[in-house]
Chain A
Amino acid sequence: MTEKQSLSFVLNGESREVSIDASELLVDVLREKCGMKGTKRSCDVEVCGACTVLADGLPISSCTTLAIDMDGRDVTTIEGLARNEKLSRVQQAFVDHAAMQCGFCTPGMVLATTALLETNEKPTDAEIRHFLRGNICRCTGYIKILEAVKSLV
């Protein structure tokens, strides 16, 4: 076992300090130690995007990121998007377009879309497809997800 380390980071706008093992993955720390269960675990190999969170506004796979690497950084999970019980505009678009089914990929997909629109306000269809291809959805066939994202452009 590795020795305990202290992780200091900003999680959904709040400063947090968590005692962790150096080898712990971000997905586990977020889910088990920070209660952010909206972060989903699926492929374990950085292929599917279900575990996507934003680190300083950019999407990363928390299943293959060491939690300690988030020291001093700003992390946003799905729980951090809705403010004062009001959905973010990306969340609202996903609801309005019924752009989800089982919902397991939804947190990652919504976060990736949030990052896309933060970095590129008017992405083309090709840019949307390129940016979101790291997020797998097995239910929707992506059609309604594309509609939701395009409604924001």
Chain B
Amino acid sequence: MTDLHAHTPISDHLEKVTGRAEFISDVVVPGMLHGKILRSTVPHGIIKKIDTSAALAMPGVVAVLTGADVAQLNNHWGPSLKDRPLIAIDRVRYVGEPVAMVAAEDERTAEEALELIDVEYELLPYVTGAEEALAEGAPVIHAKPEALKDFYFKGEAKPVPGTNIFQKYAYEHGDVEKAFAGADRCFEGRFEFPMVFHYAMEPHCVIASFHNEGLTLWSCGQSPTAVQKVLSRVFEMPLARIRIISPYVGGGFGGKASVKIDPLVAALAWKVRRPVRVCLSISETMLTARRLSATVDVKTGVRNDGTIVAKSVRILMNGGAYADTGPAIAVKAANRAIGPYRIPNLKLESVAVYTNTVPGAAFRSIGGPQAVWASESQMDEIASALDIDPVELRSRNILRCGEHVRPDLRPIDVEMAEAMDIALKEMTKLQSLDADAKTFGGTALGISDPGIMPVASVLMRLKIDGSVAVVSNSVEIGQGVREVLRKLASEQLNQPMHAIEVLTPDTAIAPFDWGTAASRSSLMMGLAIEDAAKDIRKQIADIAAIVFSAEPSAVRLCEGGVMIGNEKKTFNELLHSYYGIDSGEIVALGRVSPHSNGGRLAQAPLFWETAAGRCGIIADVETGEVKVKHYVSVADVGRALNRAGAEGQDEGASIMGLGHTLSEELIYEDGQPINATMIDYHVPTIDEVPENFVTVLIESGTGPGPGGMRGMGEGAILPVAPAIANALATGYGIRIRELPITPERVWRALRDKRKV
């Protein structure tokens, strides 16, 4: 038997390492124009006048699009609240909002023409902070945003008309107030998490083209069908006339999820009736999407032995000028603040508000890092006050596999105690190597309920020569989904890896899928491939029965064909006999819905995505600089289909977490983002990576996917910040409650401690 799992290089890696991989920014559509965007320079204002005449007169400029052009379109959209105009119409709500757009024969001309556009604003009062946005008399940024039910996520947002609140969420079980009153000790704290920027290396890039068959977009969107749906509403065109093609995408992390610049680019193409390419600069992507900042108030009541009796969490999130998927993020932040602990009395509240800042958006584990930062920092504060070891405190409260995080959610399906134990043991080994400078350890745990809609489908086409095309809308964004689908199809059809081709996503040929996000694609497409393979096996058995009088139960797939009892027939022999010509294929659709697998996928969450992190740090007490020398990341992923790839996801998530922990923060002053360039905004570089980094992936086989897999790729970002803050508290006696943990904050905390 051929080893189906023999090592073959990951196919997209060969393309990527040679520079041949085609990203959207490399695609050329014949006759395409280039678009550039003029952005608002004021945080909130009425557009009094836009003069485009000088720009239009410039040689090479084809058109300028402004709000006036889109009056006849269904010109507002949003994945949750229909609050965003295609391009600013009469009003701007944040610095960076698109106000006008030039289409020209080349990028340089388009860029130069922007300078010739004259915009006059009447300034309005603005708010950039979430607290200010809630205050009496704050300017209301959207008077009455329309909530869309079941549009992208199930359910709908609950905006409060006449205020800046676009989502309010509350949950309670037990009697929290009574339990606090009866607790031995109560701990309260406020934790701040800043706005942070995704910085996918490839800036957003879209090419749009209207033609006789409708509208085609080459899109960097992580959710091609969501883009298709929004465009269908905006242009009032049937879905079947809108085609979204998704070449390789240079990273997203949520910044390209749901829908971003696609409607804007399509509007320009609609105006000029020629293909238009818009490729943002990184500075512009920083004005396109960012993580929601959050203020998290946590109160925990415990007995003297550390047993948690009650917890309440109140989260205020700054959602920026347009809600995007903020309403869902606010709900997830609340759930992700719970932690893997038994909490008999629990109260969660979250509120998300509009402000005059860059729109908030999904970002790796939506709401998770904000919530876990607060909850896991407070766990260590409790441990310290009760003089219990922080790991021991967690152990005393930790949920066993099968226990409920919340009674209405699926029970937790992993053993967090095991993951925490491994993290501790691995770190102890690393710390035993410490020579002169001793490192201090800190632990944190994170659990999240992925927002996975069990809605996916895949097309598999088995050709007469034994090659197989896997056609799906799962976007290859660096997570390695193409290779995973290849492996799953290979396994399910018992064919060698080299026989499987995973095609570029194209909504014209790929069946519906919800999107590439929320750690869902490998799992969802895995289930869909399982379903499609079942259908292929059935069709083959039926054909073998017709042409070779085979008993269906005696037919099984083997490399390149089928075994009928002990006799091998190639796919060619089978299909040639069946069709009468030496051609043909078998096509199967695999589908996942809330009704699949006997309804077992319907309950949320489909699985729990978790992580245990432990760090070993050293702080320079003179400068306040924190150096993470060791880090251990542990997660139960069920099954790692591509081990190196899975480890890479975990490592990438951890180091991304290191960024928001130590340096990343988008700063506003006077309504302006003052560090929205890569010169002023620092993401981790290779010299900041811990000297020792250990990734442990537990393969318990307990996930809901093929072979017991579950989704992964986000969880590891959760524990990083609180683990580091906890290590600082343990080692240096300072408790930082505001991210990022900059040298200045550490230095000030150390100085304040000395004063006391």
Give the interface of A toward B (CB within 8 A).
Answer: 36-45, 47-48, 50, 77-79, 81-82, 87, 91, 94-98, 100-107, 110, 125, 128-130, 132-146
Contacts and interface: CB of A to CB of B under 8 A. Distances in A.
Given A98-B648, A102-B251, A106-B16, A138 B678 contact: no
Given A143-B693, A144-B647, A137 B18 contact: no
Of A40, A82, A141, A146, the most chain B CB neighbours within 10 A belong to A141
Given A138-B201, A139-B478, A100 B248 contact: no
Interface stretch (B19-27, B340-348, B373-381): B19-27
Contact of A129 (B199, B651, B656, B687): B687
Contacts of B22: 37
Nearest to B202: A104
Contact of A79 (B19, B477, B644, B684): B19
Of B13, B199, B678, the most chain A CB neighbours within 10 A belong to B13
B250 interface: yes
Interface of B: 9-10, 12-23, 25-26, 198-203, 248-251, 253, 281-283, 477-480, 644-645, 647-649, 651-656, 677-679, 683-687, 689, 691, 693, 695
B283 A44 contact: yes
Given A79-B18, A103-B12, A136-B683, A144 B23 contact: no
A138 B477 CA distance: 12
A117 B691 CA distance: 21
A138 B649 CA distance: 11
A129 B20 CA distance: 27
Contacts, number: 169
B480 A95 contact: no
A42 B652 CA distance: 19
A82 B453 CA distance: 43
Contacts of B23: 40, 103-104
Contact of B677 (A45, A98, A101, A134): A45
Nearest to B682: A47
A97 B249 CA distance: 21
Contacts of B199: 136, 138
B249 A102 contact: yes
Contacts of B20: 38, 79
B687 A43 contact: no
A126 B153 CA distance: 47
B201 A40 contact: yes
A41 B279 CA distance: 10
Of A82, A87, A138, the most chain B CB neighbours within 10 A belong to A138
A47 to B, nearest CB: 4
A98 B652 CA distance: 13
Contacts of B645: 98, 101
11 contacts: A44-B282, A102-B201, A104-B251, A106-B16, A129-B687, A129-B689, A132-B687, A136-B199, A138-B201, A139-B652, A140-B652
A100 B17 contact: yes
Contacts of B281: 44
A106 B17 contact: yes
Given A102-B248, A105-B201, A142-B686, A87 B17 contact: yes
B689 A141 contact: yes
A138 B26 contact: no
A26 to B, nearest CB: 15
Nearest to A85: B18
B656 A141 contact: yes
A133 B686 contact: yes
Of B22, B253, B684, the most chain A CB neighbours within 10 A belong to B684
B383 to A, nearest CB: 29
B357 to A, nearest CB: 22
Contacts of A139: 201, 251, 478, 648, 652
Contacts of A41: 25, 203
B478 A103 contact: yes
B242 to A, nearest CB: 26
A106 to B, nearest CB: 5
Contacts of A128: 686
A146 B686 contact: yes
Nearest to A108: B201
A136 B478 CA distance: 15
